[in-house]
A and B are shown apart, each in its own frame.
Chain A
Amino acid sequence: MRTEGFLSKVKSAGLAALIMAALSFPIVAYHADMDLTRGLFLESRWPLVAILVGGTFILRLLSEFVFAWMRGRPAAATRKTKQGISPRAFHLIGFAGIGALIAFPLAAVFMLGPAGSLKWIDNYGIQILIYVMLGWGLNIVVGLAGLLDLGYVAFYAVGAYAYALLATDLGWSFWLCLPICGAIAALFGLALGFPVLRLRGDYLAIVTLAFGEITRIVAVNWTALTNGDAGISLLPKITFFGIPFSKGAEGFASHFRLPFFPIERTIFLYYLILALALLTNFLTLRLRRLPLGRVWEALREDEIACRSLGIDTVAAKLSAFAIGALIAGIAGAFFAVRQGFVSPSSFGFIESATILSIVVLGGAGSQAGNVLAAILIIGGSEFLRELDVLQEFFGYTFDPTQYRMLLVGLAMVAMMNWRPRGLVATRRPSIFLKKAKPVAVELIAEGRG
């Protein structure tokens, strides 16, 4: 009996290894390299295939044993019925989180010094917060209203380009541009939302994807306006409400009698995006308690029932599109001022996919889940940048960014298989008589729009 079980495990591992061998032939086994005349020749890499096949065999065998062991164990006690966190604890966690976010850059500077903390504040802090904000914006469209938008990056691009053009051509200040960029993006949201309102489900997804791509292609090709692939550079830098972050007597540091560090601007940008993100969160939480927010959720649950109650579903959908776009537009303007330049390459489909995966992994509709997912996805992908170190071992032909994206892709697959409905998969009621009981995810519709 035991040997039989062992044999079958070896067999299964052998099959996995065989499949791996077939999959890696020829794409891994041979490398089509180009010689100097741009002719192709093949270079074999059988050792690599052997490693892959052997690795698959061993991993599969191990996992078979682990599964068998787990099956052998007495079934774990039936899972405790999930007790939602009480609203009070929820608020406490929320405030603690905000406190930590406010303290983060100062703590980083304190611990790592102005130079060492730059990476943490900029690459991790600001980058993650931008995606938190974008995730919250898209959450309104996808999570609350249940409209699947695969072209959300278009509004982000509109906001960024709007700032770039207003700031360089007209010389308007960032603070004036910020709401204007949001408004322009919201108008785009309305313009794009209107024709696609009748579409449902995957049709809506593909048309929004198409609009997103069209926006990018226009940005590439309308060189007179956007300067094409080269993008618009030398955007004016952020100021402290008019006071520049420069070294001179006019600068922020001397104005407030502080020692000058270049990182002051970065810290300011961090607090700015934190404030914008928190504002987005506040807006969403507030909207959820207003008729508009409730009707978005009702729309996700059942559009026909909404219509039978006399609800103007067109207005509800358009408002979700417009508010989602407004948030993306503001985030876009921030992105532009932070980068100092905009180019179409920042607004590819991959951005839309990333934002959508933050929303889905976070648990559609959940604000807190979005933050966790953004930290996991963006933080994780930033962390993978550290793979650059490996270049020293593997030589210059090793391109870490490809490994990074490869792992990001695999992680998306793995995370969806792990938690298909996201990290935080309960819904908090927007209003209650006695006690807010979290609604189980199985009951929540995902919307057909």
Chain B
Amino acid sequence: MRQLCTFYVDDLYLGVGVDKVQEVIRYQRMTGIPLTSNKIEGLINLRGQIVTAIDMRTMLQLPQRPEGKLPMNVILHADDGGALSLLVDEIGDVLELEDARFERPPETLQGVARELIRGAYKLENKLLLIVNSDKIRTESVAA
């Protein structure tokens, strides 16, 4: 059994392990960082902690978020490289799913998704894609 924090990015239903998530907060004002990849959206002030926000839409090569729609922050626990925030469209439920429903991604999955998606949980009417949170930092600086 695994507990997963789920969220939506464009039409994708994604999830990360609950143990990886520090908290989920609504949109925060951000400070842009010039000269960095466009996947890095900016810096937010999380009660004195400075967190780098990464746009999941850009990461996954999805179309831009519609104007006026503000993203939510899924803050991942700080490892030795500092905390990260994933900018997502909407937050879903926390799900508890048995391991049997998990399957590795198909070989035909290519590109950036191959690195970022660890696999999928087969739900009744859709698939929940599991994001490899360890890869986000490295992928965010990749060209």
The answer to whether A and B come from one shared complex is: no
